[in-house]
Structure 1
Amino acid sequence: MFQLPFFRRDLPALEGKRVRLRMPEREDYEEWATLRAESRAFLEPWEPRWTPDELSAASFRHRLQRSRHDYDQGTGVSFFLFEKAEGRLAGGLSLSNIRHGVAQSANIGYWMGERYAGHGLMLEALQLVIPFAFDRLRLHRLEAACIPSNARSMRLLEKAGFQREGLLRSYLRINGVWQDHHLYALIAGEHQQPSRRG
């Protein structure tokens, strides 16, 4: 079994000028549930269909267990994004499907609470996670998939240095419907000069 190249007790935390990233904890439940609930209409078009118990404490515990399992197995790292000024949860992002060997790649995904969207917080978070993925996890390639109508997400990826590589037809089932996605990718070494726009 492959282990991530840092000690299990050394849970990753990343800090920028305006954002702080750390792995989710059980104590985050109420803040997470509140932010997700108030942002539901904003998030649903871009996510898998929400289950009836989507925001329950049991569902959150299951997410936490899966996140820690993926971390222990070296297949994923999940972060909650906190804005530093008030210390409040603003969103989340994750590295999933981490592959080593000949691939050395991972998928990156993210979500943002509606009230925090459009303020550049996720761009700063990506600019923290990208070097973490390439330098600390020693990956070579990051991939992100984006629904063609999600102009905000496409702008974000392009500002972070990702390049569009093609169209993945009927790629993911989002909000109950199989959706085409644009494939974006960033290669190690391309992240040295991140865009400062936005």
Structure 2
Amino acid sequence: MIELKGEKVVLRALEPEDLDFLYLLENDTRFWEVSGTQQPYSRHVLKQYLENAHRDIYEVKQMRMAIIGPDGDLIGLIDLFDFDPKNLRVGLGLVVRAEEDRNKGFGAEAIELIVAFAFKSLNVRQVYAHILEDNLASMRLFEKSGFIRTATKKDWIRWQGEFRDQHLYQKINPSCT
């Protein structure tokens, strides 16, 4: 399985021992708005997910990796999703769970590593991300990582009875034609 190493973080495949972290993250209602989650996940369901997380991105069209911080602890997850080998594109999602692990360059380096992997190993032309209108920190992070806001989907996400805009950010691989 792939392991991507940077100066601050390592991206690695999910392991069975990640169950507790995954359980806390997936059941943290602060993230439900962006993940589309509408009900809690059981440990049993997440254990089954981990047992199948090794499946090939060409088969399941997604890949989730653990973000390991400098102290060796799991601090977040980074996902490639909706992999489309015909149109050479893939979506990117990122979450760093704890506030104390944010704004330290971990997310930026994780994005850099996974985008380089997507461009080189998956040979995609573009990587894209969906970011809610009020998530200014994510917008700054993705812009700093070379993504450009190319569209706004008006009233795209309904959360707690209100509609919110969602921005589309894209990064194009200049060497892919």
Shorter-chain TM range is: 0.7 to 0.9
Q: State the TM-score, normalized to the length of structure 1.
A: 0.77
Residue of structure 2 equivalent to 1:58: 44
Q: Cα gap change, 1:134/1:159 in structure 2, threshold over 3 Å: closer, same or farther?
A: same
Give 1:174 deviation, angstroms: 5.3
Letter in 2 for 1:119: K
- Larger RCO (CA under 8 A, 6+ residues apart): 1
Q: Cα gap change, 1:64/1:44 in structure 2, threshold over 3 Å: closer, same or farther?
A: same
Residue of structure 1 equivalent to 2:28: 40
User: Is the Cα contact below 8 Å between 1:67 and 1:76 reproduced in 2?
Assistant: no
Unaligned 5+ segments in structure 1 are: 1-10, 191-198
Q: Pick from 79, 89, 94: which aligns with 1:94?
A: 79
Give 1:58 deviation, angstroms: 1.2
Q: Which residues of 2 match residues 1-198 of structure 1 at below 5 A?
A: 11-34=1-24, 36=25, 40=28, 42-52=30-40, 54=41, 56-65=42-51, 67-69=53-55, 71=57, 73=59, 75-84=61-70, 86-101=71-86, 103-114=87-98, 115-172=100-157, 179-189=164-174
The 4+ residue runs of structure 1 with deviation greater than 4 A are: 172-178
Distance 1:93 1:173 in 2: 24
Distance 1:67 1:27 in 2: 13
Distance 1:175 1:14 in 2: 37
Distance 1:69 1:175 in 2: 34
Give 1:45 deviation, angstroms: 4.7
Q: Report the more deviating stretch, 88-97 or 58-67.
A: 58-67
User: Is the Cα contact below 8 Å between 1:32 and 1:89 reproduced in 2?
Assistant: no
Q: Cα gap change, 1:96/1:70 in structure 2, threshold over 3 Å: closer, same or farther?
A: farther
Q: Secondary structure at the residue paired with 1:60?
A: helix
Distance 2:14 2:158 in 1: 25
Letter in 2 for 1:133: A
User: Aligned-residue CA RMSD in angstroms?
Assistant: 2.5
Distance 1:134 1:74 in 2: 19
Q: Secondary structure at the residue paired with 1:169?
A: strand
Q: Cα gap change, 1:172/1:100 in structure 2, threshold over 3 Å: closer, same or farther?
A: farther
User: Is the Cα contact below 8 Å between 1:29 and 1:57 reproduced in 2?
Assistant: yes
Listed one character per residue, the Cα deviations across residues 103-144 of structure 1 (whole Å, up to 9, x for unaligned) are: 100010111112311211000100111110001110001110
Matched-pair identity in %: 25
User: Is the Cα contact below 8 Å between 1:77 and 1:96 reproduced in 2?
Assistant: yes
Q: Cα gap change, 1:173/1:142 in structure 2, threshold over 3 Å: closer, same or farther?
A: farther
Distance 1:27 1:175 in 2: 33
